[in-house]
Amino acid sequence: MSKKKVTAVIRRHEEIAENIYDLWLETDLAGEAGPGQFVAVYPKDGAMLLPRPISICEIDDKEGLLRLVYRVAGKGTESFSRMHAQDKLEILGVLGNGFPIEKADDKSVFVMGGGIGIPPMLETVKALKKRAGAKNINAVLGYRSERFLQQDFSQYCLAYMATEDGSYGTQGNVMDVIRAHDLKADLIFACGPMPMLRAIKAYAAENGIEAYISLEERMACGVGACLGCVCKTVETDAHSKVNNSRICTDGPVYPASFVNI
């Protein structure tokens, strides 16, 4: 799939939780995007040269819209948060490899997200429902305290939630939710902070469950040129002859058993 830098128009933009923003972009890239992929968004300020990678939360290919839900984490994303409907943004996409939805046929699936790793799991759930091959889908979502997107997930599947402070759902993390509700699955799709992904990888290995995880990583170029987002793998790369993989191009989604995290 070719990568293109295009001009997108903001259709809607609002804050949905503290420092969490919901951005709908009108762009032709919507027709090429899939669950688990991302785009790189360029700040308006020319002093900030590098684009910011943001995962795709939802795709509306009929209307030509991409939904990005992001957290303000620095000057680049803070500059995005001040933009309004009809403003224009330069974006590069579509980037990365997404979740293998076809693996879910005839299987019970956990769709697991933690923190800002929750948004890409919404389009993953939608794609699973659209394919209609999975026997059962449960979303397991982990928050620190303030929740977002939980009602969106509930439209498509059962959504179980954990909060670190116990203000809603199960107190603890996503693994505590699984134990508390005695949930079972044949397949896991997940995105979130590294400690969560390590726990999911270990759980999947112990229980013989196939798992695919999306790695969150700081990226610079987004196209594999700078080698700034490599992760360690169990296999040697045929080109570089080392146990490294570029998350922006080879990932961000990997079989959990393939990466050393």
Structure tokens of 139? 């979303």
Sorted by where each starts, the structural domains of the chain and their CATH numbers stand as: 4-95 (2.40.30.10), 101-216 (3.40.50.80)
CA distances from 32 to 23, 75, 93, 95, 215 (A): 18, 29, 9, 10, 21
Question: What integer pLDDT is reported at residue 50 of this predicted model?
Answer: 84
Q: What is the pLDDT of residues 28-71, one digit of tens each?
A: 999 999 999 999 999 988 778 788 999 999 999 999 999 999 99
Question: What integer pLDDT is reported at residue 195 of this predicted model?
Answer: 95
Cα(218)–Cα(89) distance, integer angstroms: 20
Model-level pTM greater than 0.95? no
Exposed e or buried b per residue across 59-70, where buried means at least 16 C-beta atoms within 10 angstroms of its C-beta: beeeebbbbbbb
Question: What integer pLDDT is reported at residue 23 of this predicted model?
Answer: 98
- Over the chain (261 residues), what is each successive 10-residue block's mean pLDDT? 88 97 97 95 84 95 97 94 97 94 97 97 97 94 94 96 95 97 97 96 97 80 62 67 73 88 83
Burial class (CB in 10 A: 0-12, 13-18, 19+), 166: exposed
Q: Where would I find the H helices in 33-109?
A: 75-81
Question: What integer pLDDT is reported at residue 247 of this predicted model?
Answer: 74
| Beta carbons of 66 and 27 less than 8 angstroms apart | yes
Structure tokens of 90? 């330069």
Distance of CA 183 to the CA centre of its chain: 22
With H, G, I as helix, E, B as strand and everything else as coil, classify residue 178. helix
